[in-house]
Structure 1
């Protein structure tokens, strides 16, 4: 099977995301909070949070609201997943800050 792109996996993920956005009636901030909750529930790695935390902050969400989502889902997904998610969000924020600093430097 040949692909028309050098990044078929990334292209597929972007297409799935676009399709989801077109079909979802949630406001952008609620959509991102829902996705962050799903990432925590699925024990996602930091890179997955990186794709959602920065857009969440740009959509006007606060760190406190991200923490509130983790508090809300803790009884359902368990403390281990919530603690892992908190660490992964922290890692994603660190990467986002580093990238922003590099962009600011030129």
Structure 2
């Protein structure tokens, strides 16, 4: 089986997989990207993985608030550490601290989790 030569075969493969996934998925682009961001959070993906989704997110007119809503929605499932890590990785990908979790917010989250564990 012959394969096409490329200077970036890994990136080409990832791009082809992404295109194939988009073509086969019935979701609108915004929902698809938000779902992928949720999956990235769940697996504690690095900033570079979020970076790959920024252009499609902008093209889908997604807002920072929508991404924050996804983080809020999945926090009880994936946990504080993953959400905090994702916020940092998203900020790195954006090159700014657009999704900042304040110290008081972090303390409130940690306290709520501790209370939840003590009631279990």
* TM-score normalized with structure 2 length: 0.73
Task: Please name the residue that 1:99 is paired with.
Answer: none
Higher helix content, 1 or 2: 1
Q: Which structure would you say has the larger RCO, counting Cα contacts within 8 Å and 6 or more residues apart? A: 1
Which 4+ residue blocks in structure 1 deviate beyond 2 angstroms?
none
Q: Does 1:52 align with 2:53?
A: yes
Alpha-carbon shift at residue 2 of structure 1 (Å):
7.3
The structure with the larger Rg is 2
Number of the residue aligned with 2:6: 5
Gaps of 5+ in 1: 96-106
- List gaps (5 residues or longer) in structure 2: 97-120
Partner of 1:33: 34
Question: Per-residue deviation at 1:84?
Answer: 0.2
Match of 1:102 in 2: none
What secondary structure sits across from 2:95 in the alignment? helix
Mapping of 1:1-106 within 5 angstroms? Answer: 4-94=5-95
Q: Which residue of 1 aligns with 2:100?
A: none
Query: What is the TM-score with the length of structure 1 in the denominator?
Result: 0.83
